Amino acid sequence: MTLGQKIAWDDTVLPFQLDASDIRGRVARLDTVLDGILQQHDYPTKVEALVAEMALLTALIGQTIKLRWKLSLQVQSNGPVRMIATDFYAPQSEGEPAQIRAYASFDKDRLTDDIPFAQVGEGYFAVLIDQGKGNTPYQGITPIAGESLSDCAEAYFAQSEQLPTRFSLSFGRSTEVSENEHWRAGGVMLQHMPKASPYAQDGGSGEGGLLEARDIVDGDDRENWTRVNALLDTVEDLELIGPSVPPSDLLVRLFHEETPRVFDAQQVKFGCTCTEERVRQSLSIYSAKEIGTMTTDDGQVTADCQFCGAHYQMDPATLGFEAQEPSDGNA
């Protein structure tokens, strides 16, 4: 089977639990999802790699959290890649796929020949959870740290949630003969089951005093965490990407002595929620004078979705709180 063919476990997230060690996790495989995300933009390869990694993290984390609506991950930095933003939308009903979208903002002239993560400078990694109307959004922020975006995500869970968390990811362009080159990604997320007592000590052993997993587990929990991480260290990149290894087989290969138990897999797809109505709503706070400053020489107000590339053209007379005419009904 070649990488260009659709595989049953592509674009899925498989939850599991290791009963012998009190650890839960996820296995994710992304293929068509990444095509949907990346084909919207002409990113340089290093930026594509960062977006692919962020999308993979989003799939793993989004399925972990009991969402009713949306999880967002964001990286803001002073480096050549200024921002990476992703959204994970929970399924609207049982059996439907979750949706993921992502985009990056960068200064092309500042990109270097160094590794992708070197294009991210100082800044922060943020997790935002929106449970819908009537619920207060949650936001957790940690400094950018480590040598990858997955390191940043691990630092977030250690600081904000005090949950020992580990990611092992693989992503890149497939280059199979006679197949179109495209991105594939796969990874495993491990997380120690939460305990009742939070970590109370000041400072940790990580970069800049950040907490790390070893700072928030002890006794049998530390022994279990160390053992399972050592098993995950044996995984190979092709096993993670998984063109020929089903997620359940991978779990048995890695963790058969930890009594792995799998649950129903969650399908994911590329999807964007932008609509003309939402664009109009975002412009409804502006006066006619302010709308006028946004109007092009052709007499239109235009807007482009950074996630999916959709282009909207609207009559300025129908926009803002001083709109002179109703919209044409397409919104």
pLDDT at 203: 64
Domain boundaries, the chain: 12-195+204-270, 277-318
Q: Are 66 and 237 in contact (CB under 8 A)?
A: no
CA atoms 305, 308, 312, 318: torsion sign? negative
More confident residue, 251 or 328: 251
Identify the pLDDT of residue 286.
Answer: 86
The reported pTM is 0.85
pLDDT mean over 220-247: 92
Surface-to-core class of residue 142, CB atoms within 10 Å of its CB (0-12 exposed, 13-18 middle, 19+ buried): buried
Taking only the tens place, the pLDDT of each residue in 2-44 is 334 467 889 999 999 999 998 999 999 999 999 889 988 889 9
Cα dist. 18→40, 192, 214, 217 in Å?
Answer: 38, 10, 19, 17
What is the Cβ-side half-sphere exposure of residue 161, based on CA atoms within 13 angstroms?
A: 21
Measured distance CA(14)–CA(264) in Å, rounded = 7
* pLDDT value for 196: 45
Confidence at residue 330, expressed as pLDDT on a 0 to 100 scale: 44
Higher-pLDDT residue of 35, 242: 35
Q: Residues 149-169: what's their mean pLDDT? A: 93
Does CATH place domain 12-195+204-270 in 3.55.30.10?
yes
Instruction: Express each pLDDT in 244-259 by its tens digit.
Output: 889 999 999 999 999 9
pLDDT one-digit tens code per residue, 168-183: 999 988 766 556 778 8
* Most distant pair of Cα atoms in the chain: their distance: 70
